[in-house]
Amino acid sequence: MAVSYYKIPLSAEKIVSNVPIAHCSIEESIKQFVHLIMTSHFGEFELDSTFGCAIWNIDFDNLTTNNKLRDTIEESVLESLMSHEKRIKNIDVSVNIVQDEYKSSTNFSRVKKRVDIKVNCVIQQTNESFSCFECFYIAPLAY
- Number of domains, the chain: 1
> What's the pLDDT tens digit per position in 16-63?
888 888 889 999 999 999 999 999 988 888 899 999 998 888 776 666
Task: Tell whether the torsion through CA atoms of 42, 44, 46 and 51 is positive or negative.
Answer: negative
What is this structure's pTM? 0.83
- Do the domain assignments include residue 127? yes
Cα–Cα distances in Å, from 71 out to 3, 53, 68, 77, 109? Answer: 36, 13, 5, 10, 28
Is position 143 within any domain?
Answer: no
- Domain CATH code at residue 30: 3.10.450.40
Question: Using one digit for the tens of pLDDT, what is the confidence trace for 88-98?
Answer: 999 999 999 98
Report the pLDDT value the prediction gives residue 1, as an integer from 0 to 100: 46
Residue 139 in this model has a pLDDT that exceeds 50: yes
Do 77 and 93 form a contact (C-beta atoms < 8 A)?
yes
Query: Which range of residues forms the domain containing residue 105?
Result: 5-138
pLDDT score of 62 = 67
